[in-house]
Amino acid sequence: MTGILGKKLGMTQIVVGSGKLIPVTVIEAGPCCVVQVKTPEKDGYEAVKVGFIEARKEKNITKPLKGIFKKAGIPVFRILKEFRMSGLKAGDVINAGIFNKGDIVAVSGTSKGKGFQGVMKRHRFKGGPGSHGSMFNRAPGSIGASSFPSRVWRGLRMAGHMGSARVTVRNLEVVDVRPEQNIILIKGAVPGALNSVVEVCKE
């Protein structure tokens, strides 16, 4: 698996072929620095830990993490993530050049928080009639029969907190790569708000 951390800069559209417009998400992919290398002999699996966005205040970093950064001889980073990659060593830099035009990727991030929402917005319920004296406009309806099961089933869709959850969108196409700007253009929308951190992995 090849992956990188990036920042969602927003959405735009580009023209391809004979004037076809394609909506794309602009992601500032890296540069990310390899902080630590995991080996099967020592850790039981092979991966690399990469850092993204240098920390402004080192006092907020724990002592064990400070030791990892000091051992690698690199600055302290605010965001860390492991990717199952090999052939890298501590201090190496990963940038947008690891992707090519036409690659299929999966993008993970934290979705926008919507707060407490009802069933129509949260679960796309149809709702009741909107006129003729109806008092069942946006209500969820029955949540369980009285004779059986005489209770509410666990996991029943109801109103509640919406968003602020980890979301992964797969099978997205890389439309363009601009390594000199550390920017990749991905077809379609990806989870997260503007300037939020996302993970981009080759499928």
Q: What is the pLDDT of residue 151?
A: 93
What are the start-end ranges of the E strands in 1-59? 3-16, 20-29, 32-38, 47-54
Q: What is the pLDDT of residue 74?
A: 85
For 58-76, what is each residue's pLDDT tens digit?
777 888 888 888 888 888 8
> Between 107 and 90, where is the model more confident?
107
Q: What is the pLDDT of residue 185?
A: 95
Domain with CATH 2.40.30.10 in the chain: 3-114+166-202
CA distance 66 to 76: 7
For 110-127, what is each residue's pLDDT tens digit?
999 999 999 999 999 999
198, 111 in Cβ contact below 8 A? no
CA distance 184 to 24: 9
Arithmetic mean of pLDDT, 33-49: 89
Mean pLDDT, the chain, rounded, equals 90
Arithmetic mean of pLDDT, 188-194: 93
Arithmetic mean of pLDDT, 3-30: 91
Q: What pLDDT band is residue 88 in, cutting at 50, 70 and 90?
A: confident
Phi, psi of 4 (to 5 degrees): -155, 155
> Between 11 and 67, where is the model more confident?
11
For 153-187, what is each residue's pLDDT tens digit?
999 999 999 999 999 999 999 999 998 899 999 99
Instruction: Report the amino acid identity of residue 81.
Output: K
> Rg of the chain over CA atoms, in angstroms?
23
Q: What is the pLDDT of residue 69?
A: 85
Q: What is the pLDDT of residue 90?
A: 85
* Cα→Cα distances 23→11, 72, 189, Å: 7, 40, 8
Instruction: Report the amino acid identity of residue 174.
Output: V
Q: What is the pLDDT of residue 132?
A: 92
CATH no., domain 3-114+166-202: 2.40.30.10
CA distance 162 to 191: 14
